[in-house]
Chain A
């Protein structure tokens, strides 16, 4: 086509269609494989080995797609940097540094924080989880749990996904994953067997805002507050 003198954009469109088609063929074969070979292996009792093989295959498949994506992203990034630098010479170039390989552990932490603070940002959360699954540095992350979290998130089970992700980096080892914590209250703190002095990742936000006074101290303090206001008003009225 190209040598035949066709318009470059048409050629590119054909190429991306072909690439997408290859991707869907791979997906079909993968589905078939899971439905037959893997299913049989699971019934036959040697599911573990098959699962490991499957994970490795999927990993290779994902990585074969990823690096190209990164290269394209890097090029887009360079183009936008140049555009920014031309349009706005001062400062802009400093705002972006070259993208580094982010370890899976960091990505999982980011996904957890997004789930906690901005659960409506579905795409951003999916991106973080998928990036974590594709990351090269997977130290300190149980990828199997991340995959389960990925599936849970796709099914809309946000709390389960969050718990699984926390479990995947060893942040909530005390929690029984089968019964996810539905309340954003605070679970009891537990000793964490981690080497990294981790911030207490399993904590949810303590919400601010209006609330009724609790315990003894609340009403007592409110009474004192009223007294102070009253005294103040008397002083202000008298001294003019």
Chain B
């Protein structure tokens, strides 16, 4: 009897058995308390939205036909005829918006809290690459829906490819043996996801290697209490549930539209809002403005850890870097609003 009483409970034994084989307890390594804040869960939530996009994308791919002649019809059919198709597409759309916003906010949080400083400069660059890939995901997804807006986005892509001269061969409709739309589809559903997983893996390993950056807002000499990382994961799960609920509600209450079948040689649409800040720039500079503005923003992001080098993390004591960055963010937001108000213009002559 005594031997039986000493045995641990069933749940405990299952956990032990799993831990012995899968190493689950390794996840309960200590992390500082401030890592449990929402601001420090934005990157995790971006990964969650990526997984949601993956899941819904797998289902969408069963109904999407990536050939230019039939792509538009297949999207229409998904929306109007497939059971829950419109909701699924709406969820994918809103999850994409969420991922763009979350990646942007995560980047801002890391910048403001100075978390990119030595020795984390390398991981900042990995993160900027991931942000660039998020932009590519978003853009290629915009093209796939193959309505008027999609075709105009693709025409801009081709035009920018031509600006790059020989280097832009990849974006030429004459390169490769299949239609450009099909090649963009493979980028969206195979090439980008594979690379993204790989690079997110590197990103997370480096976070583990360096640990969570100390909070710049913490005072006092006593060391910060720690929490097991498994707790951070559980809290992230809570945030993820809220995210899933909000995305589902948006998919039902505010589904994305789908324009008429595309016609070449006219420009009558504007890009979706995350790309809208480029629209007025294109009005002023021409198509090349898109290329230069994008290059400028990403170059600026890449040089951040080499310009802002001192050990100081508090944003108010790094005003020389924080103020210009805030101005850039405000300018982009203002350009988005201006782009939404400005009338539609033709940039590419047929």
Contacts and interface: CB of A to CB of B under 8 A. Distances in A.
B287 A232 contact: no
Given A94-B163, A186-B80, A205 B260 contact: yes
Interface string A225-240: 1111111111110011
Nearest to A113: B263
A97 B286 CA distance: 15
A238 B278 CA distance: 43
Contacts of A142: none
A211 B253 contact: yes
Interface in B78-114: 79-80, 84, 87
What interface size band does chain A fall in?
35 or more
B248 A200 contact: no
B132 to A, nearest CB: 22
Given A91-B288, A95-B286, A239-B231, A114 B349 contact: no
B203 interface: no
B257 A221 contact: no
What interface size band does chain B fall in?
35 or more
A70 to B, nearest CB: 15
A239 B268 contact: no
B222 interface: no
A214 B255 CA distance: 12
B254 A209 contact: yes
A227 B245 CA distance: 7
A95 B349 contact: yes
B36 A240 contact: yes
A228 B244 contact: yes
A238 to B, nearest CB: 8
A180 to B, nearest CB: 16
Nearest to A237: B238
B210 to A, nearest CB: 24
B256 A208 contact: yes
Interface in B298-337: none
Interface in A131-176: none
Contact of A221 (B239, B251, B264): B251
A225 B245 contact: yes
B262 interface: yes
B27 interface: no
Interface of B: 36, 69-70, 72-73, 76, 79-80, 84, 87, 147-148, 159, 162-163, 231, 234-235, 237-249, 251-266, 268-269, 286-288, 344, 348-350
Given A228-B242, A228-B245, 20 more contacts: A90-B288, A92-B286, A110-B265, A114-B266, A114-B268, A117-B148, A117-B269, A199-B72, A211-B254, A212-B253, A221-B248, A225-B245, A225-B248, A229-B241, A232-B240, A232-B241, A232-B242, A235-B241, A236-B238, A240-B235
Interface of A: 90-92, 94-97, 99, 102, 106, 109-110, 112-114, 116-118, 121, 186, 197, 199-201, 203-213, 217-218, 221-222, 224-236, 239-240
